Amino acid sequence: MIKLYNEYSEYLKLKYGEKVYKLPVNIPCTCPNRDGTLGYGGCTFCAEVGTGFEMLDSSLSVKEQLKRNMEYISKKYKADKFIAYFQNYTNTYMDTEKFKNYINDAIADNIVGIAISTRPDCISDEKLRFLDEIHSKYNVNITIELGLQTVNYHTLSNVNRGHTLAEFIDAVLRIKRYNFEICTHIILNLPGDNVLDTVETAKILSALKIEQVKIHSLYIMENTEMGRLYKNNEINIISKDEYVERVVVFLEHLNKDIVVQRLAGRAPKENSLFVNWGMSWWRLKDEILYKMESENRHQGSKSKFN
């Protein structure tokens, strides 16, 4: 039977021989697009809490956060292997010694992987070399999660991203010198993007041989520039049906081996102005899968880069 898409949980089971869970880690860091280095206020959709609304307090040590999250997850899902996920803001945006301490603190027997979320313009060769040492010394898999959101550099400029497609390509080429995986975060319904951008994003990720992708649907929070535009009716959000179609089109044009971590975004209810057309993320995911199944559409079926 042809798989609808290459699902992350299945990939983890195959790779590690059992279920593996990501444990969020929150370290005190910021983003050059917030602290004035590149800009103030951040991307127009980025809320003060960044992306880590489900996280423990950053004043807790990395070890303590992992311990607490591990206790909770292993009880709930009977899991034994985990990935430490440095999730919030730009986790490589700090001096190298500090970065090394945080990463070293995540090393433990049942941590099989470390995933580090960052921006494409915050990848230094010094930090990559250090991660390579960690990878070899502790046999721990390294995944760099790069926020790109879209390949349309006009949209990137409109959402005040502070980098363009070129920085993303540069980061990918430099990370590719090491035995790491790259996960790219994208948002398929940014205002201004159309289905051509969806197809081009899938094609560029495939051509660059990215290993994983995380698809988000846009959510709009209070106290953001996007929130202000939304309340003033100055931006247009595509319908839920259009989003579902875009996800399917994206998957069709994506290399069949790229692992897909997620099909829709998750957001806190508090302070959100718009999230997933009022549906839960799992109902939205079900609609996407139903469409693929009933229309016989699959990941990679239209990809030239398989």
Considering only residues 85 to 104 of the shown chain, the ones binding ligand SF4 according to CB under 6 A are 89-90
Stretch 43-62: interaction string toward ligand SF4, x if CB under 6 A: x--x---x------------
- The residue among 6 and 90 lying less far from ligand SF4, judged by its C-beta, is 90
Under 8 Å between Cβ of 220 and 273: yes
Could you tell me which stretch among 31-39, 76-84, 101-109, 212-220 binds ligand SF4 (CB under 6 A)?
31-39
| Least Cβ distance, residue 147 to ligand SF4 (angstroms) | 5
Could you tell me which stretch among 29-37, 67-75, 265-273, 294-302 binds ligand SF4 (CB under 6 A)?
29-37
- 31 lies in the binding site for ligand SF4 (CB under 6 A): yes
Stretch 131-170: interaction string toward ligand SF4, x if CB under 6 A: ----------------x-----------------------
- Give the torsion through C-alpha atoms of 180, 84, 33, 47, to 10 deg: 140
- Give the torsion through C-alpha atoms of 266, 269, 272, 273, to 10 deg: 100
Q: Which long-range contacts (CB under 8 A, 24 or more apart) does 265-272 make?
A: 265/187, 265/216, 265/217, 265/218, 265/219, 267/53, 267/219, 267/221, 268/49, 268/53, 271/47, 271/221, 271/222, 271/223, 272/219, 272/220, 272/221, 272/222
Under 8 Å between Cβ of 243 and 188: yes
| Strands of the 181-187 sheet, one edge to the other | 20-25, 81-86, 111-118, 141-149, 181-187, 212-216, 259-262
Residue 47 to residue 270: CA distance in whole angstroms:
12
- The residue among 103 and 187 lying less far from ligand SF4, judged by its C-beta, is 187
| Least Cβ distance, residue 90 to ligand SF4 (angstroms) | 6
Residue 291 to residue 227: CA distance in whole angstroms:
30
| Least Cβ distance, residue 291 to ligand SF4 (angstroms) | 29
- 42 lies in the binding site for ligand SF4 (CB under 6 A): yes
- The residue among 21 and 85 lying less far from ligand SF4, judged by its C-beta, is 85
| Least Cβ distance, residue 219 to ligand SF4 (angstroms) | 12
- Enter the DSSP assignment of 305: -
Could you tell me which stretch among 5-13, 26-34, 103-111, 209-217 binds ligand SF4 (CB under 6 A)?
26-34
Could you tell me which stretch among 41-49, 150-158, 228-236, 288-296 binds ligand SF4 (CB under 6 A)?
41-49
- 26 lies in the binding site for ligand SF4 (CB under 6 A): no
Burial class (CB in 10 A: 0-12, 13-18, 19+), 236: exposed
Could you tell me which stretch among 38-46, 62-70, 104-112, 219-227 binds ligand SF4 (CB under 6 A)?
38-46
- Which residues lie near ligand SF4 (CB under 6 A)? 31, 33-34, 42-43, 46, 50, 89-90, 119, 147
